[in-house]
Amino acid sequence: MLVAGPKQRLGLTYRFIAAIVRPTLLAITKRRWHGGERVPPVGTGVVVVANHISHLDPMTFAHFLWDHGRAVRYLAKDGLFRIPVLGKMIARCGQIPVYRDTGDAATAYRDAVAAVRRGECVAIYPEGTISRDPQLWPMVGKTGAARVALETGCDVLPIAQWGVQDILPPYSKRPRLFPRKDVQVRVGAPVDLSDLQGQPVTSTVMRTATDRIMAAVVAELEVVRGEKAPGERFDLRKNTEGDR
């Protein structure tokens, strides 16, 4: 297992945070990682997509990628960048702010495309938030990952993660650190979007690509969990509208 981290220039802040976070996660987790050989080497642009089950899983997900040679660039809510001290550290680590429902919303897409073209590993949670599915299966995905992938022609790696919700349950602020919990991460084969490359950017093309990406994530999660996902994915938009 790699321990020194990615062999690339990341800056002192990124490596300082990694030097604190990684040993902490080693102390509180038991890691069961599969498919790490599919993570491409430094210098190869890639989009990695995963299910989202806890406020802690960006850390465990980044830990997995770090130990397999890649530093991750997350698309993260812009509110995180406004938190005193932490916001500046996130920015210095090269994370990409997402400005939702504003005139700057396209900035995240532009920055993500640029990062992939520089050979970065860009992580996107297609659900956009922690799953609201009652059993924590992935919800209907948003099209951001598909847009970046089709624009750049990069691989999209579907990744399933499970177990971290036992440390910090969804939307909870009270972690359960001990006994150590199993954290599983499983990487699938790149999602085949070749037939969609070069096509006009229509809602149909974006939805087709996004559905393939989400199906690939779900397939890996079914293996990890040893059970079958529901036939219909939870649609946050429809369920939110129903609550109004």
Q: Is residue 3 part of a domain?
A: no
For 49-82, the pLDDT digits (tens) are: 999 999 999 999 999 999 999 999 998 877 778 8
Q: Is residue 145 part of a domain?
A: yes
Enumerate residues 6+ apart whose C-beta is below 8 A from 50.
57, 61, 123, 125, 158, 159, 160, 161, 217
Residue span of the structural domain in which 79 resides: 12-243
Type and span of the H or E element at 184: strand 181-187
Q: Is the pLDDT of residue 241 over 70?
A: no
For 4-51, the pLDDT digits (tens) are: 567 777 888 888 889 999 999 999 999 999 999 999 999 999 999 999
Percentage of the chain lying above the pLDDT 70 cut: 93
Q: Is residue 82 part of a domain?
A: yes
Q: Is residue 7 part of a domain?
A: no
Model pTM above 0.85: yes
Strand order in the sheet with 72-77: 29-34, 181-187, 155-162, 46-50, 121-124, 72-77, 96-98
What are the structure tokens assigned to 4, written together? 């020194």
Q: How many domains does the chain have?
A: 1
Q: Is residue 126 part of a domain?
A: yes
Contact 214, 208 (CB under 8 A): no
Cis omega (within 30 of 0) on the bond before 190?
no
Please return the burial class of 207, using the count of CB atoms within 10 Å of its CB with bins 0-12, 13-18 and 19+: middle
> pLDDT value at position 93?
81
Strand 181-187 and strand 29-34: pairing? Answer: parallel
Q: Is residue 148 part of a domain?
A: yes
Contact 30, 181 (CB under 8 A): yes
pLDDT band at 244; cut points 50, 70, 90: very low
- The CATH code of the domain that includes 164 is 3.40.1130.10
Report which of residues 31 and 244 the model is more confident about: 31
pLDDT band at 105; cut points 50, 70, 90: low
Q: Is residue 75 part of a domain?
A: yes
For 118-163, the pLDDT digits (tens) are: 999 999 999 999 999 999 999 999 999 999 999 999 999 999 999 9
**What's the rounded Cα separation, in Å, for the pair 186 and 218?**
11
**What's the rounded Cα separation, in Å, for the pair 105 and 224?**
34
Average pLDDT of the chain, as a whole number? 90
